[in-house]
Structure 1
Amino acid sequence: MKKQIAILGGGPSAFLLAAFLDAKKFKITIYEKNKTVGRKFLVAGKGGFNLTHSEPTEQLIKRYTSNDFLDKALLHFTNTDFRNWLDQIGIPTYVGSSKRVYPKEGIKPIEVLSVILKHLKEKGVIIKYEHTFSDWDNHNNPIINNISLQTDYTIFSLGGGSWKVTGSDGSWLDTFSKKGIKTKPFQASNCGYKIDWSPNFIEKNEGIPLKNIAISCSAIIQKGEAVITRFGLEGNAIYGLSPQIREQLSSKSKATIFIDFKPSLTLEKVHSKIKSSTYRNTTQILKKELKLSAPKIDLLKISLPKDSYLNTASLAKNIKKFPLEIINMASIDEAISTVGGIDLTALSEHFELKKIPNQFCNGEMLDWDAPTGGYLLQACAATSVYLANYLNKNN
């Protein structure tokens, strides 16, 4: 007789778990509180549908802040494994110039979701909509729509705390805390960071990207670009520094980042180009010799004292290490992802809750962090497949 598995939540973690569970051993049911599944999956696809990242596994693992907790899962189901599986079910992928992995050109996010759901249906996975988890009964059975659910295994795939409009609101956190399960408050990650721009600068440069830059914080460096917004900065060059910025904001109520406007050149080379230029006007030198964009030049002009802007050594130093103070971060609901949730010490190495046997948590519910670019989805997939194979092997 098949054992009953209840998966609570209808996002990517739930899909991958259900896809890799052995349907000959288990009757698999996904319980989703909304009228449809995969809403956050589709919203994420609007900004560039990164399915995973193509960098070597040993480098990819270093992108996660989880104290090595995710390593076994990420090694068990690599980005190559993920791409191979997607291809097998009918979603071919390609590697973009940024090394991010996308569905083959022309395939929309809704089509990817449809293919995955079709695969699950063919496997016999049942999806029940408008079914909401609220608590546990006195026997530790999960309560869904005010009814205790009798299962052999329960897997919580309830998501993080960002993008409430999709249903991923993190409202489950208090319920788990009251149960005595160790949790951490949600914090925004991969979000915009507040900078007190001068009015003149923001009026001229709002919405313009700072391209081909490197941003550092606490000795961690992230290359890419960042968009100037009225709130501050956002984009891949700053998202990857979320852990370091959060730590400084928490300890000092402010954070300092440093922008390298010309990461392709050394400080010595920048200094040499300025000093040897035939142009007399400093702004012309920056524009013609160093190819700095208008927002970069404006930042230097507005922020530096006149004597520093006109001093070759000082100007070169600021081009390579321009300081900016961050005074806050965007709200959780505006963030792409969150950190916090189930404390990793509350789980076994196989993601089982130590307080409740045969109940597990996976995906973004767990307290780990990663930058955008396919890393978030890769970890959701990896934890799900690792858990599925553990259950398959032990039943």
Structure 2
Amino acid sequence: MKKSIAIIGGGSSALITAAFLDPNKFNITIYEKKKSLGRKFLVAGDGGFNLSHGEAINKMITRYTPDTFLKQALLHFTNDDLRKWLLTIGIPTFVGSSNRVYPEKGIKPIEVLTKVKQFLIDKGVQLVYNYEWKGWNIKGELIFNNNEIINTDYTIFAMGGASWKITGSDGSWLETFKNKEINTLPFLPANCAYAIKWPKEFILKNEGQPLKNIALSCLDKTQKGELVTTKFGLEGNAIYALSTEIQSQLSIKKTATIYLDLKPMFSLNEVNQKINASQLRTVKDILKKALKLSPSQIDLIKTNLTKEEFTNKNILSEKIKALPFIIHSAAPLDEAISITGGISLNEVNENFELHKLKNNFCIGEMLDWNAPTGGYLLQACFSMGAYTAKYLNKKE
């Protein structure tokens, strides 16, 4: 006799879990509190639909924090495995110049979601909408909506974190798990903008300007990439990748210090030599022509240096390689691309099963892990889902 599996949530982790569960062993039902599946999946697609990243899986594993928690799941269902599976359901992909994995040109996010949804329907997965999970009753049974009780042999929770509430990912489940004495951590924004108090004149002139080919450092970590100056502060892949280090400082000191390297391809000595060797009269011309800094980058330096520092070539060289900024806060939680916090990793075993609730699993952004943007977040969700399905398929 088939056993039943309830999957709570209709996001990326939930969909891939259902896709890989054995329909000959299980009656599988996805319970989604909204009126449609994959709402966050579609929102993510608005900014450039990278489904994964194309780098070697052993390198990819190191991008996650912590870097050991997801290792087995990622090795079981790699970025290559994802691409092969997508092709079987009619979604060819390619690796772009940024090494990110995209659907072939012309394929929209809604088309990918529709193909996945049809695959699930064809294998007999039941899709139930407008069903919001409310917790457990005293017997440990699932409660939905107006005290409707659902009995199931296994439950897979895939309800997302607490960013982009409009998609249904609001983190409202956190208190329910805390009441079950499951250790949780507060949600914190990650992969988000960070607040810097710009001088009014600077931001009026430079709001929205990119800072390309730079490196950013915080504590002992350095990340190359790009930034954008905004009225709020800074955003972009370089600062997103330092979220863990920035948040650790903010939690202790209420501020964080970052250092911007405007010429990471040159050493300090090389920058100094270029500045001192230039025959140009003004510092601005030297920076523009000898170092090829953009007007926005030059304004950034002038804003943060005194006149004496700006005209001292040795100090100027040092600041070009390590220009300090004080971060005062992160963007609001709901504006973050992803979050940290949620269920402590100590609360689940290697198969993502809760120690304190047998046959209950938590996957995806509900757990306290993080990754940079660029396809890493989605890949982890896909890998966790496929890995959980593999484990359940092997159970008698």
TM-score (structure 1 length as normaliser): 0.98
Partner of 2:96: 96
> Residues of 1 paired with 2:283 and 2:199: CA distance?
21
What is the aligned length? 395
Query: Contact 1:140–1:356 at 8 Å: present in 2 too?
Result: no
Query: Contact 2:61–2:67 at 8 Å: present in 1 too?
Result: no
> Residues of 2 paired with 1:147 and 1:182: CA distance?
27
1:375 correspondence with 2:376:
yes
1:35 correspondence with 2:25:
no
Of stretches 13-22 and 266-275 in structure 1, the one that deviates more from structure 2 is 266-275
Unaligned runs of 5+ in 1: none
> Residues of 1 paired with 2:24 and 2:66: CA distance?
34
> Residues of 1 paired with 2:102 and 2:68: CA distance?
27
> Residues of 1 paired with 2:94 and 2:188: CA distance?
32
Partner of 1:26: 26
Query: Contact 2:9–2:157 at 8 Å: present in 1 too?
Result: yes
Of stretches 374-383 and 88-97 in structure 1, the one that deviates more from structure 2 is 88-97
Partner of 2:135: 135
- Residue deviations 1:126-159 (CA, integer Å, cap 9, x gap): 1000001001011111111211211111100000
For residue 67 of structure 1, report the CA deviation from its aligned partner: 5.7
Task: Spell out the pairing of 1:29-178 with structure 2 (5 A cutoff).
Answer: 29-66=29-66, 68-145=68-145, 146-178=147-179
TM-score (structure 2 length as normaliser): 0.98
For 1:116, give the aligned amino acid.
Answer: V
Q: What is the SS of the residue equivalent to 2:130? A: coil
Query: Contact 1:216–1:258 at 8 Å: present in 2 too?
Result: yes
> Residues of 2 paired with 1:239 and 1:153: CA distance?
36
Superposed CA RMSD in Å reads: 0.9
Partner of 1:327: 328
Task: Spell out the pairing of 1:204-283 with structure 2 (5 A cutoff).
Answer: 204-283=205-284
Query: Contact 2:162–2:170 at 8 Å: present in 1 too?
Result: yes
- Residue deviations 1:31-52 (CA, integer Å, cap 9, x gap): 0000111111100110111111
1:357 correspondence with 2:382:
no
> Residues of 1 paired with 2:87 and 2:317: CA distance?
49
> Residues of 1 paired with 2:122 and 2:273: CA distance?
65
Q: What is the SS of the residue equivalent to 1:348? A: coil
> Residues of 2 paired with 1:176 and 1:149: CA distance?
18
For residue 66 of structure 1, report the CA deviation from its aligned partner: 2.6
Query: Contact 1:274–1:289 at 8 Å: present in 2 too?
Result: yes
Query: Contact 1:74–1:382 at 8 Å: present in 2 too?
Result: yes
Question: Which aligned runs of 4 or more in structure 1 are off by greater than 6 angstroms?
Answer: none
For 1:314, give the aligned amino acid.
Answer: I
Of stretches 51-60 and 330-339 in structure 1, the one that deviates more from structure 2 is 51-60
- Residue deviations 1:351-388 (CA, integer Å, cap 9, x gap): 11111111111011101011111111011011111110
Query: Contact 1:66–1:367 at 8 Å: present in 2 too?
Result: no
Q: What is the SS of the residue equivalent to 2:62? A: helix
For 2:252, give the aligned amino acid.
Answer: S
Of stretches 375-384 and 270-279 in structure 1, the one that deviates more from structure 2 is 270-279
Q: What is the SS of the residue equivalent to 1:197? A: coil
- Residue deviations 1:207-258 (CA, integer Å, cap 9, x gap): 1111111111112111111111100001101000000000001111110111
Unaligned runs of 5+ in 2: none
> Residues of 2 paired with 1:152 and 1:201: CA distance?
60
